[in-house]
Structure 1
Amino acid sequence: MKQLKSIALALVVALGTMTASAQTTKKVDVAKSKLTWVGKKVTGQHDGTITLKEGALVFKGKKIAGGNFTVDMTTINSTDLEGKGKEKLDGHLKADDFFGVEKFPTSKLVFKTIGTKSNNTYAITADLTIKDITHPITFDLVVGKNVATAKLMIDRTKYDIKYGSKSFFESIGDKAINDEFELNVNLAY
């Protein structure tokens, strides 16, 4: 009888441990999520939006355990301009000397390592793929109830986007565009 109780207790403990360590994948609601970008240059800045195609956050209990996202690069949209200026900028951002969206219609982000900074803030190292070029990127992810936010600083020159970069064209003067652009992420899940 003691042996049966011991086996039963071991089974309960094992099942409890498996349940506690089980992972849950939560799909991101792409319609409610928002990605905004800011690109700066010597003479000012431009900002806009881009659409998330799909994404998911993986939880182990209440903690982040993973994530992967696909961005629809064909949706690059400037929001600070109108008319011909907007058409020109949007077209240029989609062209080969920037994101080349005809050949590279999506970009991807996959979490690789996750560190806990506080109860709901995580230090993320992820692989970011733009134009089929992958580099690691680090950022903080803040997780709330059914929402997660992050600010990524992306060096576009690592992804063969050199247009207007002072790092590659020293005599460009006031036409220089900053190598880094900012991507603000607000995920609903």
Structure 2
Amino acid sequence: MKNLKTIAIAILVAFSTVTATAQTKNVDVAKSTINWVGKKVTGKHEGTVNIKEGSLIFKNKKLTGGNFIVDMTSLEATDLKVGEGKEKLEGHLKSDDFFGTDKFATSKLVFKTVKPNGKNSYTVTGDLTIKSTTNPVTFTITIKGNTASTSLKIDRTKFDVKYGSGSFFDNLGDKAISDNFDLNVALQF
């Protein structure tokens, strides 16, 4: 009888210490947004690009991972109206000078490390792939309920997007385009 009690207690302890399994939450791509800002000497352009698919991974209600695929063919300039050069700018951004969306229709982000840095806030380091070139990026993401948000700055030249870069071309004058572009991401899941 004593051995039976010991076995029963051991089984209860084993079941009570089982760790929670990871929970994957798919991003609602219709309700999530990525807004971009690209700057040049004479001003800036703003726009959007759509998430094709994505998910965040949680364990014990804490963010532990994530991955996203972005539809680069959806790249749109929102600061210009039709007839103001909107089609020309969008065509140029989709061309080989910039993102080459005919060859590289998607970009990808895979979380590699996630570290809590406060309530509902995490520092994420991930592998970002644009135009088949992968580089690490680090950013802070905030989770509130079924939403997440982040802002990050990307150096486009690290992904072979060098058109108009003063870091690679001389005498650009007011035609120079900043190497960095900003992304503001709002996710719903």
TM-score normalised over the length of structure 2 = 0.96
AA in 2 matched with 1:175: K
Q: Which residue of 1 aligns with 2:12?
A: 12
By how many angstroms is 1:44 displaced? 0.6
Question: Structure 1 stretches (4+) deviating beyond 3 angstroms?
Answer: none
Larger displacement relative to structure 2 (28-37 or 3-12): 3-12
Q: Which residue of 1 aligns with 2:88?
A: 88
Q: Aligned partners of 1:13 and 1:28: how far apart in 2?
A: 36
Q: Which residue of 2 aligns with 1:97?
A: 97
**1:99-119, Cα deviation, whole Å (9 max, x unpaired):** 000000000000001111002
Q: Aligned partners of 1:49 and 1:110: how far apart in 2?
A: 20
Once the two structures are superposed, the pairs formed by residues 32-181 of structure 1 within 5 Å of their partners are 32-84=31-83, 85-181=85-181
Q: Aligned partners of 1:25 and 1:38: how far apart in 2?
A: 30
By how many angstroms is 1:9 displaced? 2.7
* Larger helix fraction of residues: 1
AA in 1 matched with 2:6: S
AA in 2 matched with 1:92: H
SS of structure 1 residue aligned to 2:86: helix
Instruction: Identify if the C-alpha distance between structure 1 residues 170 and 5 changes in structure 2 by more than 3 Å, giving closer, same or farther.
Output: farther
AA in 2 matched with 1:83: V
Share of identical aligned residues, percent? 59
AA in 2 matched with 1:122: Y
AA in 1 matched with 2:161: I
Q: Aligned partners of 2:150 and 2:3: how far apart in 1?
A: 52
Q: Aligned partners of 1:10 and 1:173: how far apart in 2?
A: 75
TM-score normalised over the length of structure 1 = 0.96
**1:105-164, Cα deviation, whole Å (9 max, x unpaired):** 000000001111002100000000000100000000100100000111110000100001
SS of structure 2 residue aligned to 1:81: coil
Q: Aligned partners of 2:10 and 2:97: how far apart in 1?
A: 62
Query: Cα RMSD (Å) of the superposition?
Result: 1.1
Gap regions ≥5 residues in structure 2: none
**1:9-42, Cα deviation, whole Å (9 max, x unpaired):** 3323322332x43110011110111110010111
AA in 2 matched with 1:100: G
SS of structure 2 residue aligned to 1:157: helix
SS of structure 1 residue aligned to 2:117: strand
By how many angstroms is 1:83 displaced? 1.8
Instruction: Identify if the C-alpha distance between structure 1 residues 173 and 3 changes in structure 2 by more than 3 Å, giving closer, same or farther.
Output: farther
By how many angstroms is 1:6 displaced? 2.8
SS of structure 2 residue aligned to 1:40: strand
